[in-house]
Amino acid sequence: MTFVLLECHYREGRWFASADGRLTDADGPILERAPKLFSLPVRVFATPGQPEPPKRILFQHSIGLAYAGSSLTAASIYAFASTACQSLMLKDGGEAPSLQMIAELVGRIAKHYIGEVWGRHYASSNRGKAELFVFGYCRKTKALQAFRITPVIETSFRVDVAELEAKPGAAYWLAPQAVKDAFIEETKKYSSVDPKDRPAMSHLLESIVLSNRYPEVGGQVQSMLADKTGAWVLPILRSADRDITNAKASFLDIDVNEIGPVGDCTIGVFADATRVRRR
């Protein structure tokens, strides 16, 4: 298991997702820097032929995908969804798919992989199970949207795809109940503090993750933004004085300067003061 928190920053026109980085198996934690948040690229091409030339890109965007549960299953779902969503050929007179259509595609892919794992090996357990969020800005509806993808076993196996309401202050979880309860207790500590001076929700979650109180939750916190420009994982900035100019940037606690440049490019940093962590 893991945790994912999805917040709707409605007035800013964006979704903000946070997750831990712990990967576990039957023997306990095996990785503390596992990615749980992914940018899912969507590309729509013109159908080859007249009057459009082959491979002309008509539409290009990216949306967010986050998961809790089996990393093997989630990685398979993401790999298939990424391949499919970058290879969409538009029929003559058609329209680019909505975010809901993409979420439903991810749900069908999830049903295939989760159903295979459960059917072959773990029909009586939760192994192989993964829940997902698909979220971002929908170019078709011109609005923020998010969907929860949940596998369900009752008399038969199915995968539900449910839309989440995008409204100011909305927050949605994929997490053990104990983590949710701990977060509520953390927020109570700041109930008398002026809202503008309260720590961000992701900062409170980081304190829970780093406390190591929950074996299935831990490692490094990761964050993602999704808005009308696309979706991307954010670096964490660490500074003694919350000054961005003096901050050290890292992804999953790996210093970007240790990774080094890419040809003539450096690894970019997009951030604001709300995501600066104290050392």
Q: Which residues contact 254 (CB under 8 A, 6 or more apart)?
A: 33
Q: How far apart are CA 116 and CA 268, in angstroms?
A: 39
58 residue type, one letter: L
- The pLDDT score that the predictor gives to residue 273 is 34
Q: How far apart are CA 215 and CA 121, in angstroms?
A: 24
- The pLDDT score that the predictor gives to residue 181 is 80
* Closest listed residue to residue 69, CA positions, set 147, 149, 150, 2: 2
- The pLDDT score that the predictor gives to residue 23 is 78
The segment with the largest mean pLDDT, out of 57-61, 71-75, 161-165, 254-258, is 161-165
Strand partners, 163: 147
Question: Is residue 233's pLDDT more than 80?
Answer: yes
Least confident among 36-50, 167-181, 248-262: 248-262
Which has more confidence, 52 or 90? 90
Q: How confident is the model at residue 167 (pLDDT cuts 50, 70, 90)?
A: very high
Query: To the nearest whole number, what is the mean pLDDT of the chain?
Result: 81
- Cis-peptide into 199, omega within 30 deg: no
Residue 251 · residue 233 · CB < 8 Å: yes
Question: Is residue 244's pLDDT more than 60?
Answer: no
User: What tens digit of pLDDT does each residue of 106-163 get?
Assistant: 999 999 998 887 766 555 556 678 899 999 999 999 999 999 999 987 777 889 999 9
Domains of the chain with bracketed CATH: 4-234 (3.60.20.10), 236-270 (no CATH)
User: What tens digit of pLDDT does each residue of 11-33 get?
Assistant: 899 999 988 888 777 777 777 77
Give Cα separations from 221 to 18, 65, 204, 251 (angstroms).
Answer: 7, 16, 11, 9
Q: How confident is the model at residue 235 (pLDDT cuts 50, 70, 90)?
A: confident
Query: Do you know the residue count of the chain?
Result: 279
The segment with the largest mean pLDDT, out of 60-74, 205-219, 243-257, is 60-74
Q: pTM above 0.75?
A: yes
Question: Is residue 251's pLDDT more than 90?
Answer: no
140 residue type, one letter: K
Q: Which residues contact 205 (CB under 8 A, 6 or more apart)?
A: 3, 5, 18, 20, 183, 221
The two three-digit tokens of residue 107, written as one number? 């749900």
79 residue type, one letter: A
Q: How confident is the model at residue 274 (pLDDT cuts 50, 70, 90)?
A: very low
Q: How confident is the model at residue 100 (pLDDT cuts 50, 70, 90)?
A: very high
